[in-house]
Amino acid sequence: MSDKLQTGQDEALSLRKVLGPIHIWGLGVGIVLVGEFMGWNFAVEKGGLYGALIACWVIGLLYTCIVMINSEVASAIPAAGGQYSQAKHTVGPLMAFNVGLYLTMAYTMLEAANANVLGYLLTTMSRLLGNEEELSAYPFAILAILLLALLNYRGVLMTLSVNFVITGFAFLTILALFVGMQGWNPGAATEFNELAASMDSGLPYGWLGVVAAFQFGMWFYLGIEGTAQAAEECRSPSRSIPLGSLAGIMTLIIAATITWYVCAALLPWQYLGTAITPLFDAAQLTGSGLLVWVLMLGTMAATLASANGCINDASRAWFAMARDRYLPEWFAAVHPTYRTPFRSILFLVPVAIAFAILPLLLDNPTLLATVITFSILSGLLTYMFMVVNMLRFRQLWPVGSIHRAYTLPIHPLPALVLAVLAAMVFFATFLGYGSTLWSILVFYLLASVWFVVRRYKYVDRDSQFTAPLPRPRGY
Amino acid sequence: MTVWDLLEWGAWLLSALVAAWLLYDAAMTSRRYSEEFLTHTLEDLGDVDLTNLDDPGTEGARP
């Protein structure tokens, strides 16, 4: 207590407001960009080259709707926890608890997958450098998670400034590959006309294949909605969230289209559909040693940026739930020096490490796919909530009743498009991972039962309304 | 012992150091400050606004 007096901090301890639009861009694009370097190409296996391109643009539309909805609601309810905080205002505690859990699980699982992939990349790099023995991925996966947790622990400004730089670098490496292969020049030494000219490579499994490809098309954009998590730490959320998020989705659609073109022009679709690091493999086929190294570093930078952003977002969701007593209040602690939710950051570190090394320990690579599917499905559940959220938000605060920094155009069309496309992706995921989908739904059902039985009594419903908005009549 | 073995051991050592520092700092912070001070629920924050009131996007939006 004496230290409390010494520091003169009689006022409430809160998160520091230091972020601007570039940090929001770095957070949103940083979480996602790794999907351009790996993962999206499984859409080619499901739907062929053009099936993957259709998935890229259709899912791009899905995420454009998400970003626009996010820009309106998050700038009006700028609180840590993002969609969780929105849910407690627009729907109620049980929905909010579920959304908070979806977010925490989606980002923690993605962080684990990133650390696992980073270990794999280092092992590959050691082979490129002439190592004949198998380099163990464990220490590097664990070190990556711990160093990024340290960065997050010591302050959000440095964390997201680093994310901005490494994400920018990773994006530039994609452009470098496009320039290096002279992607704009039809006469350049690529095989695009031979590789992508026939419908055999374009839509080998017809339109059902295209729908099946949607699941992996999500890799191009999965996580951009995480920009809402940083709203409470923005100097001006109403400016930063729409600017950073909308610039982010534009960056991603450009990066996704270039990625598809570069890979389609260099790699046969049968190989592309199963490659682990398609952009890196494409760089190897250019014959340029410099591009190979640039893309190797770009892949690593994208992986680190994604894991870094995931730690930031998962910890904010966990912290926000604890601050509302949905979880034990112990997790709601803010570090007096760094102004970060330090206990939430630390608590999620062993969880991420466990899921990162489990596929290695059990020597079961398919477990990594399950971890990633857990993340994707948790994200999809959040998107379905965002449809309800947008409709309810406009019902509670119609246009004209509050000042909006960003107003979603042609409402409710974007919300309805989001609902239809998210349902199609659920169907596509059900085709490939039906049992995983059911087990995840059971997991969230059991968690909801736990919340209702054990935690609901601690939730003070009167104090749930914290947004800087007028209370709707009868709220 | 090859350079790769050294790198692996280095990564383990650095991991242990980072983990130790994080746990040490969290423990010391928890000891130095009271729980009431560290863990504010939203109702504890009272009138402290979660948003920037200078922000034109939210100005005037309060009831």
Q: Is residue A137 within 8 Å of A122, Cβ to Cβ?
A: yes
CATH number assigned to the domain comprising residue A312: 1.20.1740.10
User: What is the pTM (predicted TM-score) of this model?
Assistant: 0.90
The total number of structural domains that make up chain B: 1
**Mean pLDDT score, A347-363:** 87
Q: Is the pLDDT of residue A1 over 50?
A: no
The per-residue pLDDT for range A59-108, each reduced to its tens digit, is: 999 999 999 999 999 989 999 899 999 999 999 999 999 999 999 999 99
Closest chain B residue to the Cα of A336, Cα to Cα: B38
Residue B26 lies in a domain: yes
B29:A335 CB<8 A:
yes
B26:A343 CB<8 A:
yes
Residue B18 lies in a domain: yes
Residue B44 lies in a domain: no
Which range of residues forms the domain containing residue A424? 16-458
Which stretch of A112-116, A175-179, A332-336, A461-465 has the lowest confidence by average pLDDT? A461-465
A51 to A41, A201, A268, A272, A279: CA distances (angstroms): 11, 9, 15, 13, 18
pLDDT value, residue A433: 84
Closest to A142 (Cβ–Cβ): which among B15, B44, B59?
B15
The per-residue pLDDT for range A441-465, each reduced to its tens digit, is: 999 999 999 999 999 999 887 788 8
Q: Is the pLDDT of residue B3 over 50?
A: yes
Which tokens go with A434?
């039906």
Q: How far is B28 from chain A (nearest CA, A)?
A: 11
Q: Is residue A233 within 8 Å of A114, Cβ to Cβ?
A: no
**Going by C-beta distance under 8 Å and a sequence separation of 6 or more, which residues neighbour residue A220?**
A32, A35, A36, A40, A56, A59, A60, A252, A255, A256, A259
Residue A200 lies in a domain: yes
**Mean pLDDT score, A396-417:** 93
**Mean pLDDT score, A46-67:** 95
Which range of residues forms the domain containing residue B28? 3-34
The per-residue pLDDT for range A256-282, each reduced to its tens digit, is: 999 999 999 999 988 999 888 899 999
B51:A131 CB<8 A:
no
B4:A131 CB<8 A:
yes
Residue B7 lies in a domain: yes
- Chain B residues whose CB is inside 8 A of the A400 CB are none
Closest to A1 (Cβ–Cβ): which among B14, B29, B34?
B34
The per-residue pLDDT for range B16-44, each reduced to its tens digit, is: 999 999 999 999 999 999 998 999 765 55
Residue A475 lies in a domain: no
Closest to A3 (Cβ–Cβ): which among B4, B33, B44?
B33
- Chain B residues whose CB is inside 8 A of the A349 CB are 22
DSSP H helices in A181-333: 192-196, 199-202, 206-217, 237-266, 269-272, 278-285, 289-323
- Chain A residues whose CB is inside 8 A of the B32 CB are 3
Give this complex's ipTM. Answer: 0.87
Contacts of residues A3-11 at CB distance under 8 Å and 24 or more positions apart, as own/partner, are A3/B32, A3/B33, A4/B33, A4/B34, A4/B37, A7/A336, A9/A336, A9/B37, A11/B48
Q: How many helices (H) and strands (E) does chain A have?
A: 18, 0
B62:A468 CB<8 A:
yes
Closest chain B residue to the Cα of A400, Cα to Cα: B61
Residue A214 lies in a domain: yes
Residue B11 lies in a domain: yes
Q: How far is B41 from chain A (nearest CA, A)?
A: 5
Residue A373 lies in a domain: yes
Residue B16 lies in a domain: yes
Scanning A449-468 for CB atoms below 8 A from B yields: 460, 463, 466, 468
How many angstroms separate the CA atoms of A387 and A416, rounded? 7
The rounded percent of chain A whose pLDDT value lies above 90 is: 68
The total number of structural domains that make up chain A: 1
Scanning A93-152 for CB atoms below 8 A from B yields: 126, 131, 133, 135-136, 139-140, 142-143, 146-147, 149-150
